[in-house]
Amino acid sequence: MTMRINQPTIAEKESLRSTHVEVDLAQLSRNLEAIRARVAPAKVMIVVKANAYGHGLREVACHLAPQADYIGVAVLEEGILLREAGVDKPILVMGGIWGNQIPAYIQYDLTLTAPSVERLEQIEQAAAALGKKAKVHLKIDTGMERIGVHYYNAHTLQEAALKCRHVEVEGIYSHFANADAADLSHARLQLERFCDVLHFYEQRSLPMPLRHMANSGAILQLPESYFDMVRPGILLYGIYPSAEVKRSVDVQPALTWKSRVVYFKVTQPGHPVSYGSTWQSDHPVRIVTIPVGYGDGYFRAMSNKAQVIIHGRKYPQVGRICMDQIMVNIEADSAFNGDEVILIGASGGERITAEDLADWAGTIPYEVLTNINTRVPRVYKR
């Protein structure tokens, strides 16, 4: 069974756009179970920030929530959306807090990240004013230099938390900067720093909060970092975080990006294609137009480098990628209006991956996936 969603869900969109993304929800479930088998008995927090890495926040989270122990998002709005969609699993918002957001966290039963003594005190005051208790995870910076109290000052945050009466410190966590590298020396240094911070609780005979640090790279390469819970991101979606990483968990991509041929013409020699006239042929060629472009997240930087699959064969994209269309050189082959085009996925023994698009664009698969625009409908295969 399939269902098409384009925020918001409108069933009538089924036939509106030929360019769409197909998400295999069953494959996501298989990926999650493969990760769980690797890290057991640790719990698994599924990270669904940035529209579930382009796969669709609401649909992915609702599908995987029964299998997950915890859910991780980046911003308050993502957490609220999931609560309004009926997701009742614990949700950690991992980004920073600003303004007067704290009451909304408490109202929607979202777990806050407390990265400093100042923020912790603000959370305590807001919760006290509401007569409620806020749930937080303390964030420790062990070498990322993003948000979080520095590991060498972590005791100040931990001690401040002991004085709070309206804050429950459920967890404590950090984040790796280089766990997906071949050289794991910095990752191991971060791990050592985090373990030193955790000694605070042991030395005082205090209950240990829920500990988590392992991202996708660490899940694959650093079993000693699993602690009580892991946080798979890109790995959950079937893509390995780098070419260097050990592939110790068998996962497969869950996303296919498709379009269709909408125009066919024969282009004569000396007639350049697209803006800037960056490509032309020295002989007559058959050019087909595909309705996808950088307005959909198909990066302009891939111009004259990208390939697509039509009828089980790879063909080069030619000329500058436009906002809404690309042109493809099929030489003397045939293609007709309505023929399927694979942008990411496999057909006839050929495959194009998110890693391929990343190479062509000079970026990383994370950016490829999260830049697929929301105007591209998602079709969910159940």
Residues annotated as catalytic are 49, 275
Asked if residues 59 and 380 have their Cβ atoms less than 8 Å apart, the reply is yes
315 CB neighbour count, 10 Å cutoff: 20
Q: Which residues contact 366 (CB under 8 A, 6 or more apart)?
A: 53, 234
C-alpha 365/C-alpha 239 separation (Å) is: 8
Asked if residues 55 and 29 have their Cβ atoms less than 8 Å apart, the reply is no
C-alpha 370/C-alpha 78 separation (Å) is: 14
C-alpha 321/C-alpha 174 separation (Å) is: 40
C-alpha 121/C-alpha 128 separation (Å) is: 10
C-alpha 306/C-alpha 295 separation (Å) is: 16
Q: Smallest Cα–Cα separation from 64: which of 56, 8, 113?
A: 56
Q: Which residues contact 297 (CB under 8 A, 6 or more apart)?
A: 54, 368, 371, 372, 373, 376
Asked if residues 82 and 90 have their Cβ atoms less than 8 Å apart, the reply is no
Q: Give the C-alpha distances (Å, rounded to integers) separating 307 from 182, 193, 354.
A: 29, 45, 12
